[in-house]
Amino acid sequence: MFGKNTAETPEDVVKSPVIASPVLSNNHEESGDIIAFVGEEVTFKGTIRYQGTVRVDGRLEGEIYTDGNLIIGQKAVITAKIEAGMVTCQGRITGEILAKNRVKLLSPAVFDGSITTPLLSMDEGVMFNGSCNMPQKGERKGIGSKLVVSVEEDVKVR
């Protein structure tokens, strides 16, 4: 309610900025304490290796390796090869993502590249330009090549 005794007016509420960020659930697998933060004004080039949850809101170019979670904020611009347990993105990614658990692309994310993950969720409004490979649990690269080797060995025996 807006009355004479309140400090806020409807105009104040309308002008207040809303800062969107990825929502972390109470699920321990998907959330955790953020152990590192790359702020909006930070530009980083190189390789990052970590355990736990990291949030990036700045610019990052290179490689990111973790079994933990990577949260990419709305203003982040990432050009990288990413290997993570889970990736949640509202920003811009150009590159390759290999996620063990899942990838969440939240609006207004922009993705250009390839994703390999067993689970992918994408909000309406996300720009996705690339490819997605969704292996089933337990599926590994190279299974087909092992089968070919077995067949070749059988052929040689006969």
Model pLDDT for residues 28-85, shown as the tens digit of each residue = 344 567 776 778 888 889 998 988 898 999 999 999 999 999 999 999 999 999 999 9
Give the count of alpha carbons within 13 A of 98, CB side only: 9
Task: Please check whether residue 109 is in contact with residue 126, taking contact to mean a CB–CB distance below 8 angstroms.
Answer: yes
Both tokens assigned to 84: 């993570």
pTM for the model stands at: 0.67
pLDDT of residue 150: 40
**91-118 pLDDT tens trace:** 999 999 999 999 999 999 999 999 999 9
**DSSP label at residue 142:** T
